[in-house]
Structure 1
Amino acid sequence: MNRFLAKISLFFLFLSLLISCNAVKHVESDQALLTENTVFLDGEKINDNQIYNQLYQEPNTRLLRVPIRLHFYNLARPDIDSILTQKYLDNPKKKKFLVDILSYKQFEKFLHSRKKFNEWIKNTGEAPVIVSKEETEKSVRRLNSWYWNHGWFNVETDYKIIPSEDKKKRASVEYYVQTHTPYIVDSISKRIASQVIDSLYDANAQDSHIKEEVQYKTLDYNDERDRLTRLFRNSGVYNFDQEFISFEADTVGTNYKVNTAVIIKNRPASEGDTTSTLPFKIHDVTKVNVFTDYAYANRSKPVTDSVQHEGYNIYSFEKQRYKPEAITDAIFIRPGNTYSDIARTRTYNRLNSLRNFKYPTIRYTPDPEDSTRTDLVANIFLTPQQKYSLGFDFEISQSNIQEFGIGFGGSLLIRNVFRGAENLEISGRGSVGSSTDAAASSDKDRFFDISEIGADLKLSFPRIFLPIDTEKIIPKYMSPFTTLSLGVSTQSNIGLDKRNLSGAMEYRWTPSRQLSNRLDLLNIQYVRNLNTDNYFNVYRNSYNELNEIVQSPNVVTSPDYLDEEGQLTIPQGAENFLEDIDADDGPTTGLNSAQLQIANYVKERKNRLTENNLIFATNYTYLWNTKENLYDQEFTRFRFKVETAGNLLSAISSVAGLEKNDNGNYKILGVNFSQYAKTEIDFIKHWDLGQENIFAIRAFGGIAIPYGNANSIPFARSFFAGGPNDNRAWQAYDLGPGSTGGRNEFNEANMKLAFNMEYRYNLFGSLHSAVFIDVGNIWNVLDIVENEEATFTSFSDLKNIAVGSGFGLRYDFNFFVLRFDIGFKTYDPAREEGNRWFKDYNFNHAVYNVGINYPF
């Protein structure tokens, strides 16, 4: 820890040295460093980022008002070549000395490395932004253009460069914008040559982006051009393009009104040397030809296999590998339908989602049998991927449970298993690790004392696999899939040791690019604990609480439960002691009410964590995500999930007349099956503030309520708090429940609230930083736990929400981000009221998190 603190101190010392540097070190005497831009709109200062983004020159990026990247840039030597020449090449003694030590080749490499390092400093830093009259005038023209495009046609824009009075070689720029009266759209007319286009325009005029009595905006006209192009092309006008649409805006003598005309001429056509215009027409697709095994090598080969299905012509150069319906169900270009861009796009997307073909090619040609040249033939060329694909995984991990872990796995993907584009994936996985737990181990000399091995089988169908027709509810263009999965795994020497058997029947469909749905009609999990006698070795805090009770002078218990040091033996002594607290005539007596409450709490938790679990659940997940790609910095993500478990088994048990046990619960296969209702809501929002500055928030709420056959939630379905992707001031499983202070090694509960805010900014190059605030906690509610400190009974318990804050560094490797965060306990609900704020706000009590990619 001391070594780490020394590194942190060195880092801040380095920052201090940077800050103390002269920011205008490389600014010439006749130049000025740009310190600030200010825009005045009609005499009032504004702070609209959209306006400031129009300026060509922006001041150097700052962190806490300090231009760190500029200071780093100033560390570079602008005349490095002459410096190296004078210092080494023009100094024979020094040159000879270095050549004798390094060799001439190494000497040249040494000089080159000095140049490269100097260049790296320049590229990583940020050159001083020098006030430029030319760039400022370009900014004025851009501001003028922005306001003109928003309806202020008489806008006037000016600027002033203001030298700093107290600091040399620095200046700010002020921009002055006078908008005057804006122009309003008054009338909208049309001049459309083609009757087909005219009819389509009139039928959809109510959807126009250009509205009367609305201030003119150029973007509205661009959006209208896009809308009309989509409308016509999706209505059968195959050869229509944006370039055929123009607008005429008349503002002469209109008293700040804009009279708009939509102009669409006939399309140009040429035949030989003759050029003419032709009216647009509706095009129908008369034939759809599908080549299922196309390759460049096959282009000249004859077709050897063909079949017709629902009007489609399906061809193959070899024996047909796919059932006809597997192909036609993925194609939305229908023979006899009008041409549509949407149908073509949906066909691309669906064929790609099958994971059976490389990117398909779709070509339209005029139907040679049609003399009017309005009919089209669609040719779809599919290139199959390899039937078998192998994949391998390897990863190194670290967590609060294990100091070091190695994971590995492999998978075999078999495509088109039943000739219906089904995919079968067989995978195996394993891991070994070194635990951080102090649990007793049979072999303490082993470094790898954690192991897990598992296997999974997954079969995917490109349809909703149900005995009823779901086409009206979930059309094929929503890319429906059904997945049947089966998995088994076993863990050794991690906690109680577990064997896990799971199975699921999952449906997925995607109505749009932003929206996806998932329904697990059946999600079955059976968890068997293999080493329950090891409970008190793993959960040492519970064991220590029992020992404190046993050693109290008021408590008497059997000497047979204790070892030579007066400690409860494991497992027999501790388990017998817990059994005695409910017995009227046992050897254990004298517990007061507080001790009895603690012992009961330990007993209830032990019974819950050591019992086997049978979870027979159904869940639905709704996901809305506007993120378009990996590099999209501004988006919204909303996830809602609801799950119920045990209802089917409860109904079967009741109908079958099964007997309940002494606790009033049914058992299936000797296991008290879980019954509960659970819901989760997760909201994430990112704002792009420009110059690689991002503000991100997340809000999460979840609750799981047991009922019927259960009075608690299985550990695998409960919530925990803390960790690198949650509240970073606490380690995973260390926070909560409520104000208990994390009394157990693995603290979990059935209700959770979490809120996160993070401001991300660039330091230099690929190195980024962030400051954050994490808020949240977990509680027990409506379950078997009765501890008031751990339960949520009213809104007054929100005072036990924990607050963590801190900062972090992130290095972007393009394909992933390595993250290091330091979290400080800002408000700790485990402390006494009135003594919770900033009591452990120091590096000695900080939590250091290492993670991959951003936390949300």
Structure 2
Amino acid sequence: MRNTVTKISLFILTGIMISACDAVKRVPMGKKLLTDTEIFVNDQKEKSENISNLLYQKPNSSILGYKLRLNLYNLAKLDHDSVYKAKFANDPEKYRRKSKWLSAKQVNRLGESFYYAGIHDFLRDTGEPPVIIDKKSTDKSSTRLRSWYFNNGYFKTTTRYETDSVAAKKGKIRYYVTTGNPYFIDTVKVSIKTPVLDSMYNLRKENSLIKTGKQYKTIDFNDERTRITTQFRNNGVYNFQQNFITYDIDTLNTNYKANVDLKINDFSYREGDSTKTEPFKIYKISEVNIYTDYGVNNSKSTANDTIKTVYNNFNLLSTSKLKYRPKAITDAVFINKGNLFADFRTTLTTRYLSNLKIFNYPTIQYEVNKKDTLGNSLIANIFLTPRKKYSFGYSLDFTHSNIQDFGIGGSTSLSIRNIFNGAETFEIAARGNIGSSKDLANPDDNFFNVSEYGLDMKLNFPRIFMFFNTERIIPKSMIPSTTISLGFAKQQNIGLDKENFTGAMTYNWNPKRNNNARFDLFNIQYVKNINVGNYFKVYNSSYKRLNNLAHIYNANPAYFENGNLIIDQGTNAFITDVLSGNPAIAASEEDRKTISSISERRERLSENNLIFASSFTFSKTTKFDIKDEGFYAFKTKIESAGNFLSLIAAASKQLKNQNGNNTIFEVEYSQYLKGEIEYIKHWDLNRKKILAFRSFLGLAVPYGNSNSIPFSRSYFAGGSNDNRAWQAYSLGPGSVASINDFNEANLKIAVSTEFRFNFFGQFNGALFADAGNIWNVLDNIEDDKAVFSGIKSLEDTALGTGFGFRYDFNFFVVRLDLGFKTYNPADESGKKWFRDYNFANSVLNIGINYPF
């Protein structure tokens, strides 16, 4: 039956593709479909995409040579409304019969249904109309090519084109560009009328982008305008704009040399009906006014209805009693009385005030101080519109997972701004989830038999909250902040029913634009497992392996119920018999090691964890906005845990427990050193094609009070954001054949490459390759297959390849990726390459947004 359906589907799909393959179906008589464009520069074929992108007309897009969007467009009936009406015009009796069965109105509306209209509208909008060769567009392309080369110093460029017929109603265009010799800059003369500007220019003259010997490029002249304007406006020249800079370029009889005369005249402005000219002035800030509740009454406060508070040469104005401590606001302002006017101070002030999150985007305006008889001072007016002090948020979700057959989750949050009148922000959020699971014991026959709830609190200060002054180390220009957070979560009938307590004190600042530094003075996590006896119900793979071995070695029948080991009594008794050397069970050395490994893993994953860590994270990116697709991002982190608690344990001179470790509140605390480094690079290949690369290296080394890394701080491999040919936690460690449910280790290496391209509209595709694995190193794992022992262990690097589909909703991306096991280091058949490279063993990943 399945084969029949497949054959029918293929037959229908083939028929659709054949019917659409008439690419010139909608090309009018006497016109030609553009099938190809070629550009020849000085008789050499130009393949640069930067040049080809200059053309107004390009052939219809294709996927592996197939013009999918054009053929979809050709499938659509553009006149579906007329076709529908013609059907009844030719058979009025049919219309009367349908009108009796439905109604005249409903019959007319049928023409707007998906079958008659919707599907054709979809095909038309999704598809792409044929690109018809058009002389006007071709002439514009030729002109644009000539302009591009002209702007790059080829002043004698000529262009022409030829249109060739390649088939009926099909044609191609060849463009020919003859550039001639390029022009180079010879002499550069600078004429600046205002003396103070001339002196200022000469201070940075060596940074000029227009230099003798460089090939002429228009972009250099534009960038030089920007450089000069930025220099002047950051040094007090308030009235200066780019249009005050002009160039005279002489190329007449200069033997391909360009003599440049850069001119900056005096400031000219209109006053009444006349134009006046005067030298540019250097302006200083004489007054800074901060309107702290601007917009509350939808108007600027006046002197008669404001309360004025003077603090450190700042005037804070409000229509009622000032609601903020003055220092909290003035610390965010970098425009100071006595400073020269500077654009960068305006930008920095805007960023800092926005970062406070208690105001809407601020407005900063300048006006000449009329009280200054010399007319060279400015008043800075900063208008701040407060956000609402209280804001509420909530969400409701319906979920399905491998734990819950059905679940309802919800959260609610409250934000309080300026809680202590120092621009602080306090957030408290509560979340909860109830669900139904038929796999759990349910003696009361309750539909909702699993639950989880939690509470999180976060307090943010717009400064470094420290017992000493950090201004010299981290100046306020780095926009520092301090966050104190607390959290609690509890599970019931989920896993081992954990209780999770967290607390952290975090400092954030930006050393440079697009650089971020984070220092966690402390990050505390306490994980308490309430239902440890549920271990083998959760980690089912370990249970199955243990159960099989119990049958092989004829374990005590009292350990079984209905043919399986009893959880928890039977499993514990069988493990004890094997590891204590009970003569009734003559287990092989290999099986004894397996049972020992299962026991050790259970002990590690079910033990309570106390982590007291400090960490430092630094990240940098060259990405300036969400549309920037050519960038790199770098991130590194180092974390240390347990040292502070070790000092407390040593000072208290407490006795070590039976495992030889120190405890705090009767819990063995974790001690380790962890380091990570990640690098991401994107190459924009134009035409919505992007090559993305990511590499990651992480290592966590236990020492002192620990011989392993806590599960929550260890690494795993696989999943939608990692190696997509394996499910999460199912890859590794090393060449181990994933006998456990959640495989993790303390060393991870991962490299991924992804080629992204556009099908049509918001629908995108990708081809990817993910390589990497996890290993154990310098911990208590002794299995050679799992331990990283040197370069040779890199042979256990897994490789997954595949393809994906994505739909971009602008504010997020829905992603479907299908991964195939290309190289499986755990395959013991001797054929590690392409053994499981088929759809039956593929892994479907569903994700939100791109993996990197």
1:639 is matched with 635
**Aligned partners of 2:3, 2:333: CA distance in 1, in Å?**
60
Other-structure match for 1:579:
576
Superposition pairs of residues 772-811 of structure 1, within 5 angstroms: 772-811=768-807
The residue aligned with 1:18 is 17
1:250 maps to a residue whose letter is D
Question: Using the alignment, how far apart are the partners of 1:564 and 1:103 within structure 2?
Answer: 68
> Deviation of residue 588 (structure 1)?
5.7
Change (3 A) 1:462 1:802: same
With over 3 angstroms needed to count, the CA separation of the structure-2 counterparts of 1:564 and 1:462, relative to structure 1, is closer
Q: 1:134 deviation in Å?
A: 2.3
Kept in 1, the 8 Å contact 2:291–2:301? The answer is no
Partner of 1:63: 63
Contact 2:78 2:124 in 1 (8 A): no
Matched, 1:665 2:661: yes
Distance 1:592 1:713, change over 3 A: same
Q: Which residue of 2 aligns with 1:747?
A: 743
The superposition leaves residues 113-171 of structure 1 with CA deviations (integer Å, 9 ceiling, x where unpaired) of 4445433321210011112232222212111111121122222323222221xx43222
Q: Report what 1:613 is aligned to.
A: 609
Residue of structure 2 equivalent to 1:144:
146
Cα distance in 2 for partners of 1:687, 1:10 equals: 38
SS at match of 2:663: coil
For the pair 1:812 / 2:811, whether they are aligned, the reply is no
Measured in 1, the distance between the counterparts of 2:276 and 2:187 equals 32
Is 2:676–2:699's contact at 8 Å kept on the other side of the alignment? yes
2:566 is aligned with 1:569: yes
Deviations 1:329-386 (A, max 9, x none): 0111101111111111111111111111122222211112101111111111212111
8 A contact 2:362–2:385 mirrored in 1: yes
1:312 alignment partner in structure 2: 314
Letter in 2 for 1:496: L
Q: Distance in 2 between matches of 1:706 and 1:29?
A: 77
- The one-letter code of the counterpart of 2:576 is E
- For 2:256, the equivalent position in structure 1 comes to 256
Name the CA distance, whole Å, in 2 between partners of 1:6 and 1:701: 47
CA contact (8 A) 1:188 1:260 kept: yes
Report the CA distance between 1:10 and its aligned residue. Answer: 4.6
Structure 1 residue 18 displacement after superposition: 2.5
Partner in structure 1 of residue 822 of structure 2: 826
Amino acid at match of 1:223: D
Amino acid at match of 1:303: D
Give CA-to-partner distance per residue, 1:304-348, whole Å, 9 cap, x none: 532211111112111110011011001111011111111111111
2:453 and 2:851 mapped to 1: Cα distance? 28
**1:170-229 residue CA offsets vs partner (Å, 9 max, x unmatched):** 222222223332222222210111112111110111222223322221111111111111
Query: TM-score w.r.t. structure 1 length?
Result: 0.94
What amino acid is aligned across from residue 52 of structure 2 in structure 1?
Y
Distance 2:10 2:686 in 1: 27
What letter is aligned with 1:807?
F
Going from structure 1 to structure 2, the CA distance change for 1:195 and 1:256 (only over 3 Å counts) comes to same
Counterpart code for 1:647: N
Aligned to 2:362: 360
Indicate how the Cα distance of structure 1 residues 733 and 593 shifts in structure 2: closer, same or farther if over 3 A, else same: same
Q: Deviations over 1:807-832 (max 9, x none)?
A: 22222223222222222222222212
CA drift of 1:404 comes to 5.2
Segment of structure 1 superposing worse, 401-410 or 770-779: 401-410
Q: What is the match of residue 418 of structure 1?
A: 420
Match status 1:385 vs 2:381: no
Within a 5 Å distance, the mapping from 1:673-752 to structure 2 comes to 673-752=669-748
Alpha-carbon distance between aligned partners in 1 of 2:456 and 2:665, rounded to the nearest angstrom: 23
Per-residue CA deviation, residues 593-652 of structure 1 (Å, 9 max, x unaligned), is 212211221121111101100111111222223333334333322222221111221233
Aligned residues: 847
Aligned mates of 1:257, 1:396 — CA distance in 2: 71
Cα shift at 1:405: 4.5
CA distance in 2 between partners of 1:431 and 1:138 (Å): 61
Q: For residue 774 of structure 1, report the CA deviation from its aligned partner.
A: 2.0
Residue 240 of structure 2 corresponds to which residue in structure 1?
Answer: 240
Closer/same/farther in 2, CA of residues 226 and 161 from structure 1, 3 Å limit: same
Q: Which residue of 2 aligns with 1:291?
A: 291
Aligned to 1:372: 374
CA contact (8 A) 2:182 2:256 kept: yes
Q: Is the 8 A contact 1:19 1:66 kept in 2?
A: no
Q: Deviations over 1:66-117 (max 9, x none)?
A: 0100000001124434423322345422322333333222233222344454
Q: Aligned letter for 1:197? A: L
Give 1:14's aligned amino acid: L
Residue number in structure 1 paired with 2:37: 37
For the aligned residues, what is the CA RMSD? 2.5
1:551 to partner: Cα distance: 3.2
Question: How far is 1:833 from its partner?
Answer: 6.1
Shift in CA distance, 213/12, structure 1 to aligned 2, threshold 3 Å: farther
Counterpart in the other structure of 1:277: 277
Residue 165 of structure 2 is matched in structure 1 by 163
SS, match of residue 473 in structure 1: coil
Q: Structure 1: how far apart are the matches of 2:739 and 2:818?
A: 23
Please list every run of 5 or more consecutive structure 2 residues that lacks an aligned counterpart in the other structure.
Answer: none
2:589 aligned with 1:593: yes
Question: Which ranges in structure 1 are unaligned for 5 or more consecutive residues?
Answer: none
Counterpart CA distance in 1 for 2:561 and 2:201 is 94
Task: Give the aligned partner of residue 492 of structure 1.
Answer: 492
Provide the residue aligned with 1:323 in structure 2: 325
Q: Could you tell me which residue of structure 2 aligns to residue 462 of structure 1?
A: 462
Q: Which moved more, 1:651-660 or 1:316-325?
A: 651-660
Residue in 1 aligned with 2:175? 175
User: Which residue pairs with 1:347 in the alignment?
Assistant: 349
Matching residue of 2:51 = 51
In structure 2, relative to structure 1, the CA distance for the partners of 1:552 and 1:741 (3 Å cut) is same
- Measure, in 2, the Cα distance between the counterparts of 1:19 and 1:634: 39
Higher alpha-carbon deviation: 398-407 or 133-142: 398-407
How far the C-alpha of 1:524 sits from its partner, in A, is: 0.4
Equivalent residue of 1:839, what SS?
coil
Instruction: Report 1:148-227 matches (<5 A).
Output: 148-164=150-166, 167-227=167-227
Cα pair distance change 1:304/1:201, threshold 3 Å: closer
Instruction: Specify whether residues 655 and 501 from structure 1 end up closer, same or farther in structure 2 by C-alpha distance, changes over 3 A only.
Output: same
| CA 1:4–1:825: 2 relative to 1, 3 Å | farther
Corresponding residue number in structure 2 for 1:118: 120
| Separation (CA, whole Å) in 1 of partners of 2:276 and 2:285 | 26
Instruction: Tell me the residue number matched to 2:767.
Output: 771
**Equivalent residue of 1:72, what SS?**
helix
The separation in 1 between residues aligned to 2:141 and 2:549, in whole angstroms, is: 76
Checking the alignment, whether the CA contact within 8 Å between 1:728 and 1:823 is kept in structure 2 is yes
**Change in 2 beyond 3 A, CA 1:326/1:7:** farther
The answer to whether the Cα contact below 8 Å between 2:555 and 2:585 also exists between their aligned partners in 1 is: yes
| Contact map agreement 1:558 1:587 (CA 8 A) in 2 | no
Tell me the alpha carbon deviations over residues 749-794 of structure 1, each in whole angstroms, 9 at most, x when there is no partner.
1122222222222323332222222222222122111112222212
Q: Deviations over 1:564-616 (max 9, x none)?
A: 566433212322333344536x5665222212211221121111101100111
CA distance in 2, matches of 1:714, 1:75: 59
One-letter amino acid of the counterpart of residue 713, structure 2: R
Paired residue secondary structure (2:817) = strand
